[in-house]
Amino acid sequence: MALRDSLRDGESYFIVEIKSLRRILQASGHNASGYNASGYNASGYNDLEHNASGHNALEHIASEHDIEQTSGNVPVSASEQAVFTGSQQSLQQIPVLCCIDEVLRGTNTVERIAASAEILRCFAGRNVLCFAATHDLELTSLLGDVFDNYHFSEEIEDGDVRFSYRLQSGPSTTCNAIALLGALGYDRTLVDSARTRADRFLAEGRWQ
């Protein structure tokens, strides 16, 4: 499913997203709402986290641009409906495939990382095959005990960024956002200042 905010329903992207994540948690048998779940359904990335929960599967990554956009209404297939109308026991027995692109991207950095870590950790150890693409490097260390980390590497040449699109083990060790500003013709002073600010944060752990 692809998510969008909805002016018609008065729901922000973040609200639409956390409702959808709750449905996935419920489908996996997690008590996400204070009651037993029996109702609703559920390149260019620096880091990909994969939790197999006992399953063997080939990695598959789908861009949000490859999926038809919806306006907050999540379609339910016949197979999904079978999951959601089953008993709590059957919910826990049916594997859930969960692919998340930039989890909780609609909120601030601190709360996004804290909440994302807990939501993704809920999927670990359950009957869930979870792929989570993120640019939050903090998640790779926070979840390193329950997720396997993979990443794509890139090269910037003549103002163009090139990816091999081959998965490599471990978290990403490079960053390219500021370098791309320079490659696309942004003022050199702006680029250098941004790089200095980022390097200072990485060294001291606070923004200046």
Domain ranges of the chain: 13-171, 175-208
Q: What confidence tier does 53 reach under pLDDT thresholds 50, 70, 90?
A: very low
With a cut of 80, say whether residue 119 has pLDDT above it: yes
pLDDT, greater one: 99 or 93: 99
Tokens of 113: 């990382």
CA distance 147 to 50: 5
Per-residue pLDDT, 80:
43
Q: Under a CB-based contact definition with an 8 Å cutoff, are residues 132 and 171 in contact?
A: no
CA distance 25 to 107: 20
CA distance 143 to 158: 36
Residues contacting residue 180 through CB under 8 Å, at least 6 positions apart: 156, 161
| Percent over 90 (pLDDT), the chain | 23
Per-residue pLDDT, 146:
92
Per-residue pLDDT, 51:
56
With a cut of 90, say whether residue 17 has pLDDT above it: no
pLDDT, greater one: 135 or 17: 135
CA distance 196 to 190: 10
CA distance 19 to 70: 14
| pTM above threshold 0.85 | no
With a cut of 50, say whether residue 164 has pLDDT above it: yes
With a cut of 70, say whether residue 180 has pLDDT above it: yes
pLDDT, greater one: 88 or 113: 113
